[in-house]
Structure 1
Amino acid sequence: MNEKKTPAIRFQGFTDDWEERKLGDVFQEYSEKNHEELPVLTIVQGKGTVLRDESNRNLQYDKSSLSNYKMVKKDDFIVHLRSFEGGFEKANSNGIISPAYHTLHGDDTDSSFYYPFFRSKNFIERLLKPHVYGIRDGKSIDIEGMKTIDIPVPSFAEQQKIGGYLDQVDYLVALYQCKLTKLQLLKKSMLTKMFPKDGARIPEIRFQGFHDDWKQRKLGDVFQEYSEKNHEELPALTIVQGKGTVLRDESNRNLQYDKSSLSNYKMVKKDDFIVHLRSFEGGFEKANSNGIISPAYHTLHGDNTDSRFYYPFFRSKNFIECLLKPHVYGIRDGKSIDVEGMKTIDIPVPSFAEQQKIGCYLERIDCLIAIHQNKLSKLQKIKQALLSKLFV
């Protein structure tokens, strides 16, 4: 059977069929020791190598045995007999690695081209799989068998073109991941500084123009529970942890419900809070729209309260693990919230204007986080699509 010898997408100027050669003919194994002058490297799955002394993994090694460590050159490949995610990684710098690894070098090969290929689902699950033996965490790679795998070999120039392009995509993925991480850390930091610590009456950071002490009131005095039924005209909602509510009919969760029982469902108004007796992540969520919800939920409304301010507070570690915890009973997945006890919790109550200011600021951070998450997700999907079309 004649197999396709060219990928679905090619860069301009490349028209020749790709060759197919044995992995062991393209990449030669080498083993050079007695290089104690080089830095010791460790492997990070999916990211190549890092200096072992700068790794956050607490790895102990006998420095007297470094003469037995293998040298690896930048951009060469590293394979462990044990099959973790296929076993292939790439050296990001010159160094020495544990003798348990195998090192592979290929003349006229571009590692930026072959690295995504070696980590692709096609290579790991189809080509490499026949040469993996053992079960579960004990899986190992038959190195000599692995060398018999047929791999694609385009011209070195085309390898460089594809590899360089994928490097650019990886750079953008890393850039947006870095920005996203910084925003998430900023939000976490601001949540600790914009709410008073235990016993304090004012937060560490405040917006200009606000000076009054924050009040402390019982949750049940600030938020009143209500229960309105017979609103079948409203859409049925379902809860998504950490994201509030979505229309049940648009949810990707296969939830079956008896539409004849909708008259018994509770109405909830946009921005009001929803509490389930069962304690999942604290049990608090926020309604993103008007609708009706299962009668198993409790609905809470607060006059002169800004849900953008209270939602991160109700989902904070301090609220869930300290304030709410005494009112949670049961074990494991059977944990439930004592709603009446919950209403006795003292919560902070700044002025409505300050709530709005803080809520608006946190909402803007959430918006930026969502934008960067969306861009990152799109880039990752683009990369996956490219990997399937840029390789034979």
Structure 2
Amino acid sequence: MKDEKKAPKLRFKGFTDDWEQCKLGDVFSFLKNSTLSRSELNYESGKFKYIHYGDILTKFGDITDTRNFSVPFVTTPEKVIRLEKYFLQNGDVVIADTAEDSMVGKVTEIQNPDPFPTVSGLHTIPIRPNKEFAAGFLGHYMNAPFYHDQLFKLMQGVKVLSLSKSAVIQTKINSPSYCEQRLISRMINLIDGTITLHEEKKRQLERLKSALLQKMFADESGYPVVRFEGFSDEWEERKLGDIAPLRGGFAFKSSKFRNTGVPIVRISNILSSGEVGGDFAYYDEQDKDDKYILPDKSAVLAMSGATTGKVAILSQTDYDKVYQNQRVGYFQPVDYIDYGFISTIVRSELFMMQLESVLVSGAQPNVSSEEIDSFNFMIPILVQEQQKIGQFFKQLDDTIALHQQKINNINSVKKSLLQKMFI
């Protein structure tokens, strides 16, 4: 029988000692969480921060900044006094004990940068270490795959997963010396800081894009506030069906889906990120398939389901053909209209505002081609101005996508490091 691994694969130079393993119950004490409901809280003035399990799920893994947690406050001084016994300390860990997905079990380590104390609220498990850990180490360790895999095996439920204190106490914690903990925490904090930097740049570009879409597109006056030099003609109002008629897809039979062949874009492949991706179904190549082939860079619309109204751009250069499934709409090009301009319009707030007026809500939201084709937009008369606008927003979208790709790449590096630097 092999000895259990006591050191990670990747370590800082100079550290060779085995990591210490212990049961969570041996080094942590369970604290009481407040049962104060949100209806008893006042968001206008107050004395403390209140961590609900949803806050952890939204901001999981952020162990240095609790400012983004909701900050509701109690309505009377008496309630503040009553909650003092629930105040958390720096270094305490709060675990989300319920969720509708695998995010249950994620944690935040308390690091209060301001004078407001923090209270752990409903559906959380607060714990306090009985020995000193380097700041941030527990937050990183307990959000790493190694530890979360332990929790996942102990979760109960089907749609809504949950964890109990008795389950959490069974888990094991492995930790190195305090000095090594501190180095690990600092390195991961640097990685997180780089991710945050790119996220902020991405948000700034998205805000810039939103502002420019309002100023670079004409309103009822027929003239935009901001436009490229050399253009002064009045814009004209056109129906979307005249400049990019929406084509419906083909009803492919799911019983004939394959693991290889021609990929089919279904509504599930229209992602909230504005990309076409995810797991594709495949089909044997068909004869006379020109009515449901999707060209590269096609703008496609989800016409039903949870993402109804979402538009994404197809970018599948690895395939000779891509098929369009039913309930996926394809904005077809028209000779005298720049398609880059169309791609910008159908992904703008101008499109979403009209979509909301026709969206059929209920168990299965949906829209029709006729409804989409009836949308009205102001467009430049000259195709050259359309091209300028389309190219400008494509460059902006490409820059936003570049920051997102950097975020994805750094997250992949972080995930790999967490797997190799923890046991």
Specify the TM-score bucket, using the shorter chain as the normaliser. 0.7 to 0.9
Question: For residue 75 of structure 1, what is the aligned residue in structure 2?
Answer: 91
2:136 match: secondary structure: helix
**Percent of residue pairs identical:** 23
Q: Which residue of 2 aligns with 1:261?
A: 287
> In the alignment, residue 177 of structure 1 is paired with which amino acid?
E
Counterpart secondary structure, 1:98: strand
**What residue number does 2:22 align with?**
21
1:210 aligns with 2:227: no
Normalising by structure 1, what TM-score?
A: 0.75
1:41-93 deviations in Å (ceiling 9; x for gaps): 232311358778x8556565543222232343333334577788326421121
Match of 1:40 in 2: 48
Question: Which residue of the other structure, out of 360, 379, 386, is the alignment partner of 2:417?
Answer: 386
Q: Measure, in 2, the Cα distance between the counterparts of 1:324 and 1:147.
A: 49
Paired position in structure 2 for 1:358: 389
2:217 corresponding residue in structure 1:
195
CA–CA separation in structure 2 for the residues paired with 1:244 and 1:315: 11
Contact 2:93 2:128 in 1 (8 A): yes
User: For residues 213 and 57 of structure 1, do their structure 2 counterparts lie closer, same or farther at Cα, with a shift above 3 Å needed?
Assistant: farther
* Contact 1:85–1:119 (Cα < 8 Å) also in 2: no
Distance in structure 2 (CA, Å) of the matches to 1:335 and 1:306: 28
**Residue matched to 1:152:** 174
Aligned residue identity for 2:137: F
Aligned to 1:98: 119
- Cα deviation digits, residues 325-371 of structure 1 (max 9, x gap): 55x779754734244x6555433221222212211111111111111
Judging changes above 3 Å, is the alpha-carbon distance between structure 1 residues 65 and 274 closer, same or farther for their aligned structure 2 residues? closer
Q: Is the 8 A contact 1:179 1:372 kept in 2?
A: yes
Task: Give 2:195's aligned residue.
Answer: 173
Q: Which residue of 1 aligns with 2:340?
A: 308
SS at structure 1 position matched to 2:11: coil
Give the direction of change, closer, same or farther, for the CA distance of 1:378–1:98 in structure 2 (3 Å limit): same
Contact 2:244/2:342 (<8 A) preserved: no
Q: Deviations over 1:2-48 (max 9, x none)?
A: 201110111100011112234344345689xxxxxx95123231135
Moved more, 309-318 or 295-304: 295-304
Alignment CA distance shift 1:173-1:284 (3 Å): closer
SS at match of 2:237: strand
The farther-off stretch of 358-367 and 111-120 is: 111-120
Verify the 8 A CA contact 2:49 2:73 in the aligned structure 1.
no
Structure 2: gaps (5+ residues): 33-45, 249-260
- Given that 2:293 and 2:324 are in contact with CA atoms closer than 8 Å, whether structure 1 keeps it comes out as no
Two-structure CA RMSD over aligned residues (Å): 4.2
Deviates more, 1:204-213 or 1:259-268: 259-268
More strand by share: 1
C-alpha distance in 2 between matches for 1:128 and 1:42: 26
Distance, in Å, in 1 between the alignment partners of 2:311 and 2:412 is 32
Pair member with larger Rg = 1
Match of 2:38 in 1: none
Q: In structure 2, how many angstroms separate the alpha carbons of the residues matched to 1:149 and 1:245?
A: 40
d(CA) in 1 for partners of 2:331 and 2:403? 32
Any unmatched runs of 5+ in structure 1?
Answer: 32-37, 228-234
TM-score normalised per structure 2: 0.70
